Chain A
Amino acid sequence: MSNYRHIGKDFVPPDIVGKVTGKAKYAEDFGADGMVFARVYTSPMAHGHVINIDTSAVAEMDGVVGILTADDLPPVEAPNAPMLTNSP
């Protein structure tokens, strides 16, 4: 029992000061100059087969740095499922 370094012992957790001072960073607190933001455009239909996605209207829009579709991702093998699909 006394061989444990932390269990049953009184100690100050190493991250607690950062939490009370606000210095501890959570996911949304990270950022960088010039960072880009992703927005998910979900399928307008619950179930179907995507034949074509026409991105011409937005691809040249100011501020758009890229558009990712299911075709841009590498294929994955079962039991993994792809992150984007053309057959929702």
Chain B
Amino acid sequence: MAVNSRLSRRRFIKAIIASSAAAAASNAGLRAAFAQDRPSGAVERLVSLNVNGRTRRVDVLPQETLAYTLRYKLGLTGTKIGCNRGECGACTVLINDVTNYSCSTLTHSVRSRNVLTVEGLQDTGGQLHPVQQAFIDELAPQCGFCTPGQVMAAVGLLRANPRPSREEARQAMSGNLCRCGAYDNYLNGVMRAAGQST
């Protein structure tokens, strides 16, 4: 194998340093062109959010969580804050059809995404979602505090997997804690709702 006599470690490292310095220099020019009078990391606070199919304009701090914005700025108190640390699931919402803990989601990160909360499930005629009706039929809610999170987790599951096995449903609902211990009733409700969908 012929070795390129011009290639050496010294030349390679020099080339890397030279190219990164050139890149930094050009980037600095680019940033100066777009420079605004804000500290780096600042965001525009008045944002448009897509919540339950509607566009809502709201002032959002950079560090604000989605749960906080939904409850205290948009008046959607259906989403509950249980632990506020991503452990209990009471704050579960759907972001682009995927279950998320809204207490651990920065509102600014969902600006371009669809957010669905429990308030957005009923159709325009006020008809209950099959999951909601199934939870009523199976008497799942006791105190009801975990219920909105359980509902959203179930809806998220059935959107991804319309005919889950009981074990799959159990796994999907495992992110929602219930201090009343109504897990079995919720599971029965999920299976009931799954049976109703095609």
Contacts and interface: CB of A to CB of B under 8 A. Distances in A.
B141 A22 contact: no
A22 B117 contact: yes
Contacts of A12: 136
* Residue among B71, B128, B136, B145 with most chain A CB within 10 A: B136
A20 B132 contact: yes
Contacts of A74: none
A23 B132 CA distance: 12
A16 B136 contact: yes
Interface residues of A, number: 17
Interface string A52-88: 0000000000000000000000000000000000000
A22 B136 contact: no
Interface of A: 12-13, 15-26, 28-29, 31
Interface of B: 71-72, 76-81, 117-119, 121-122, 128, 132, 135-136, 139, 141, 144-145, 147-148, 151
A19 B72 contact: no
Contacts of A23: 78, 119
Contacts of B135: 20
A8 to B, nearest CB: 15
A18 B119 CA distance: 11
Nearest to A13: B139
Nearest to A30: B77
A31 B118 contact: no
Contacts of B132: 20-21
Given A20-B144, A29-B77, 8 more contacts: A12-B136, A16-B141, A19-B141, A20-B128, A21-B118, A21-B128, A29-B71, A31-B72
Contacts of B76: 22
Contact of A26 (B118, B128, B145): B145
